[in-house]
Amino acid sequence: MKKRFQYILSLSILTVLFVGFIAYSVWVENIIYNNLKNQALKDNLTIGETVLGMLDKANIDKNDKLAFIQMVQETSDVLKMPNNGFLCMMDSTGALLAAPGLKPSKKVRISEASFYSAEKDEKYSFKDFFSMKPFTGYYEYEEVGYSDIVVAINHAYSGYKLMVHQDANVIKQESKEKSLPILWVGLSFAAIISIFAFFIIRRQVRTYQFKIEIQNNQLTLVNEEVRDKNKVLGIQNERLEELAEEKSALLGILAHDLKNPIGGISSVIRLIKHSADLNQEQETYFDLIKSQVKSAETLISDVLEMNMVESDRKSVQKDKIDLVKLLNQKVESFSPLAEKKEISINQNHIYTELWAITGVNELNRIIDNLLSNSIKYSPLKCNVSLELIQLDNRIEICFADEGSGIPKEELPLLFKKFSKLSTRPTNEEESSGLGLYIVKLLSGKIGATIRVNSTFGTGSKFILELPI
């Protein structure tokens, strides 16, 4: 795998350099060609002007066009120019009048040729070509690949056009030959750089491979330590689960075993109070005992419920339920408890029915706890409010009281197990510190959330959010 990576990377460098040097050589070749072309055009212009000057100085009658053409023919036959260059002359119709080896009987027309500017960015008709004084550019027959670099000069007396040619293909070949050494040097340089890069890459790969091996060895040691610690943690977790199960079992046993004797004590107190005449002091003592027994019964009941909820691993059975009807039933069942404190339970919503799919048993226990707390922590002669709010993806059931509220610093303790807050029930009701913890457990089971808004001194509002 390492060698393959080295070869691929080195080959990539070679390819990039190879393509780069080819592009560079093409660019250089184009520069050389343009320089040679421009020089050829200058040479053609100089030769053309020189030839016309010589012809004008010759003793030829200006009206004797045949003699003039003959002299141009003789000049073109003997004139030697670079790059297969030659001299020719034509009239305004495109008829060739003089050219190397041209016989008077041979009729040649060049008006069908193509004419381009020196940069090959414009194409001209024969008429445009003939009217330019002078013309500098290309004279081509594209179908046969014939291309000449041409300077064409108009002769003032005869009205003919003298053309001085150099073969563009020969110049292009010359530029290619001149740029070829640069290409070979570049390719050689690319090969050397690629070989050099291969050995550098090879060295770096070996260095990194050595570092990776060291890191792998270190990671192996760390992984072994983690595995050992995980084994220890696994054993500890198993032990914790066993202790938790033992704790739950012990709580259940204690609560269950305490429930019967405490119930018996409560029965004996009721029996004594009904069957004997007690003085005021005895009545006070028996009321105190009754209060403590009731507190113990509340605690045992809450512990049993908490233990049952915590140990229950079964999935919740969900059913469709009308929340309006359920709240009406709860208000009716809690009315006697509220009437003892002269508390009014108000329902502040506009719904005649509102359906949700949830765990019915769990929701009943949640509402019982929250409504009971609202009454328990409200002062005498006040209001407790229930409200239903339907939102896009949830339903909110709100329980608001007019109690003393919860201090801000105690809010994080609100839903914790056995949490004792400074806020106390208002009519000597009992509280185990487990009610809201049980509410949170049950809410999680049905996918609901519970939150509270409370300002110390102005009451509290508990909000149960049910997914629709």
Contacts of 322 (CB under 8 A, 6+ apart): 353, 354, 355
Contacts of 291 (CB under 8 A, 6+ apart): 428
Residue range 51-73: mean pLDDT, rounded: 83
Residue range 309-318: mean pLDDT, rounded: 74
Task: Please indicate, yes or no, if residue 193 is contained in any of the structural domains.
Answer: no
408 — pLDDT class (breaks 50, 70, 90): confident
282 — pLDDT class (breaks 50, 70, 90): low
Of residues 185 and 88, which shows the higher confidence score?
Answer: 88
Residue range 344-364: mean pLDDT, rounded: 90
Name the most confidently modeled range: 197-206, 307-316, 372-381.
Answer: 372-381
User: CA 207 to CA 381: how far, in whole Å?
Assistant: 84
The CATH number assigned to the domain holding 331 equals: 3.30.565.10
Residue range 219-248: mean pLDDT, rounded: 79
Residue range 2-15: mean pLDDT, rounded: 66
Q: How high does pLDDT run on average in the chain?
A: 82
CB half-sphere exposure, 395, CA atoms < 13 A: 18
pLDDT of residue 178 exceeding 60 = yes
Residue range 146-165: mean pLDDT, rounded: 90
Contacts of 262 (CB under 8 A, 6+ apart): 293, 296, 297, 300
396 — pLDDT class (breaks 50, 70, 90): very high
Of 278, 316, 271, the residue nearest 467 (C-alpha): 316
Of 372, 442, 456, the residue nearest 411 (C-alpha): 456
pLDDT of residue 157 exceeding 70 = yes
Of residues 420 and 401, which shows the higher confidence score?
Answer: 401
Of 43, 54, 133, the residue nearest 92 (C-alpha): 133
Block residue for tokens 């004594």 = 272
| Preceding peptide of 134 cis, ω within 30° | yes
Q: In this predicted structure, what is the pLDDT of residue 33?
A: 87
Residue 374: CB atoms within 10 A of its CB come to 26
User: CA 36 to CA 425: how far, in whole Å?
Assistant: 108
Residue 33 corresponds to which tokens in the numbers above? 């060609």
Run of H or E including 320? strand 318-322
User: CA 12 to CA 4: how far, in whole Å?
Assistant: 12
Residue range 208-228: mean pLDDT, rounded: 84
Task: Please indicate, yes or no, if residue 162 is contained in any of the structural domains.
Answer: yes
Residue 370 corresponds to which tokens in the numbers above? 């929250």
Run of H or E including 384? strand 383-390
Residue range 80-92: mean pLDDT, rounded: 90
Q: Which residues pair with 401 in a beta bridge?
A: none
Task: Please indicate, yes or no, if residue 13 is contained in any of the structural domains.
Answer: yes
Specify the number of domains making up the chain: 2
The last residue of one of the domains, among 175, 193, 222, is: 175
Task: Please indicate, yes or no, if residue 278 is contained in any of the structural domains.
Answer: no
Q: In this predicted structure, what is the pLDDT of residue 254?
A: 58
User: CA 335 to CA 194: how far, in whole Å?
Assistant: 93
436: containing domain: 315-467
Contacts of 306 (CB under 8 A, 6+ apart): 417, 434, 437, 438, 441
Residue range 392-405: mean pLDDT, rounded: 90
The last residue of one of the domains, among 175, 195, 229, is: 175
Task: Please indicate, yes or no, if residue 126 is contained in any of the structural domains.
Answer: yes
Q: In this predicted structure, what is the pLDDT of residue 412?
A: 84
Q: In this predicted structure, what is the pLDDT of residue 3?
A: 63
Residue 14 corresponds to which tokens in the numbers above? 């070679």
Block residue for tokens 């050589």 = 25
Task: Please indicate, yes or no, if residue 21 is contained in any of the structural domains.
Answer: yes
pLDDT of residue 296 exceeding 90 = no
User: CA 167 to CA 44: how far, in whole Å?
Assistant: 11
Residue range 438-457: mean pLDDT, rounded: 89
pLDDT of residue 115 exceeding 90 = yes
Task: Please indicate, yes or no, if residue 265 is contained in any of the structural domains.
Answer: no
The CATH number assigned to the domain holding 100 equals: 3.30.450.20
- Is the CB of residue 446 less than 8 Å from the CB of residue 363? yes
Q: In this predicted structure, what is the pLDDT of residue 462?
A: 94
Give ∠ CA 172-141-49 in degrees, rounded to 5. 70
Whether the full predicted model's pTM is greater than 0.75, yes or no, is: no
Q: Where are the beta strands (DSSP E) in 66-172?
A: 86-90, 96-98, 114-117, 123-124, 135-141, 146-154, 161-167
Task: Please indicate, yes or no, if residue 252 is contained in any of the structural domains.
Answer: no
The last residue of one of the domains, among 156, 175, 194, is: 175
Residue 51 corresponds to which tokens in the numbers above? 């030839």
Residue range 188-205: mean pLDDT, rounded: 73
Residue range 33-50: mean pLDDT, rounded: 90
**What are the φ/ψ torsions at residue 98 (nearest 5 degrees)?**
-150, 140
User: CA 87 to CA 52: how far, in whole Å?
Assistant: 11
Residue range 283-296: mean pLDDT, rounded: 64
Q: In this predicted structure, what is the pLDDT of residue 192?
A: 78
Of 245, 243, 299, 242, the residue nearest 438 (C-alpha): 299
